[in-house]
Amino acid sequence: MKNRKINFIVSIVLLFGMIIFSTQVLANPPDEINLKYNFSTQNLDVEIIHPTLDSNSHYIYKVDIKVNGNLYLSEQYTNQPSNTFIYSYIIEAEPGDEISVSAFCSLYGSLTETITIFDLNSPNAPEINGVTKGASGKKYDYTFKTTDPNNDDIYLYIEWGDGNFEEWIGPYKSGEEVILSHSWDDKGIYIIRAKAKDITELEGPWGIIEINMPKTKWIFSNIIREIINIIIQKISII
């Protein structure tokens, strides 16, 4: 009787794992979309990562492109070239426009990625370096560095993810490393964002880094553990 219970539990766990695995492999939205826009040629490169075992039955069947929320282009496909591939499109956009790209799986799900178009003379996105895991209440140093195509002086706007921010501090030299300290009062995950503008008021894209204060628990493992405990309790009643 004991062996039957153990075998039953093992079968349930294996079945549960097979369902999760088959769902991920056989029907999954894109893992990632990477966008690159050339302002001078107006060429938009869309890199899509979408693992599949059969690119003729499980593939990205549609790509929608919106500019400032309005549908600009919609392309449909009957297969995909590989697990990682690039589609190129000509998209007319101006500085400040937002381009969003949505890729749809033929079996299940979709993914959307958005970029903002910037002038070629705008400062680049700041590089942000510092600890990504720490403890709440403790100060940490972060280094911000960006460059300007015309070597103009730049100002920095920084959001710490907890409601605090630094509003257009500077000026700093192009390529200069700026070190700032910050602490987070509460535990959790925070997003540090920073952008730069030059002396002509041209703003560049955001630089982003994710901070974990402290590590978060893996909730999914707790759910599985609870399901197994419920199964064991039900079997003991039998």
Q: Which residues pair with 67 in a beta bridge?
A: 70, 99
Domains and CATH numbers, the chain: 28-116 (2.60.40.730), 127-213 (2.60.40.10)
Residue 217 in this model has a pLDDT that exceeds 60: no
pLDDT band, very low/low/confident/very high, at 236 (cuts 50, 70, 90): low
- DSSP β-ladder status, 177-182 and 110-116: unpaired
Higher pLDDT among residues 80 and 39, named by residue: 80
Comparing CA positions, the residue from 134, 132, 140 lying closest to residue 182 is 140
Q: Which pLDDT score is estimated for 115?
A: 93
Please state whether the predicted TM-score (pTM) of the whole model is above 0.85.
no
For the cut 50, the answer to whether the pLDDT of residue 5 exceeds it is yes
Angular region, 161: left φ>0, alpha ψ -120 to 50, beta rest: left
Do 80 and 60 contact (CB within 8 A), yes or no? yes
Q: How far is CA 193 from CA 98, 188, 230, in A?
A: 18, 16, 43
Of the chain, the end-to-end C-alpha distance in Å amounts to: 11
Q: What is the 3-state secondary structure (H, E, C) of the chain?
A: CHHHHHHHHHHHHHHHHHHHHHHHHHCCCCCEEEEEEECCCCEEEEEEECCCCCCCCCCEEEEEEEECCEEEEEEECCCCCCCEEEEEEECCCCCCCEEEEEEEECCCCEEEEEEECCCCCCCCCCEEECCCECCCCCCEEEEEECCCCCCCCEEEEEECCCCCEEEEEEEECCCCEEEEEECCCCCEEEEEEEEEEECCCCECCCEEEEEEECCCCCHHHHHHHHHHHHHHHHHHHC
**Of 230 and 162, which is predicted with more confidence?**
162
pLDDT band at 133 (very low <50, low <70, confident <90, very high): very high
pLDDT digits (tens, 9 = 90+) for 134-166: 999 999 999 999 999 999 999 999 999 999 999
Task: Answer yes or no: are the C-beta atoms of 197 and 159 closer than 8 Å.
Answer: no
Residue of 217 and 75 predicted with greater confidence: 75
pLDDT of residue 22: 47
Residue located via tokens 């075998």: 7
| Distance between CA atoms of residues 32 and 29, nearest Å | 9
Q: What is the pLDDT of residue 220?
A: 46
Tell me the backbone φ, ψ of residue 24, rounded to 5 degrees: -70, -40
**Greater model confidence, 70 or 215:** 70
pLDDT of residue 6: 58
Q: What's residue 95's pLDDT?
A: 86
Q: What is the pLDDT of residues 23-68, one digit of tens each?
A: 444 578 999 999 999 888 999 999 999 999 999 999 999 999 999 9
Share of the chain above pLDDT 70, in %: 79
The pLDDT > 90 percentage for the chain reads 72
Total length of the chain: 238
Which residues is 33 bridged to in the sheet?
A: 48
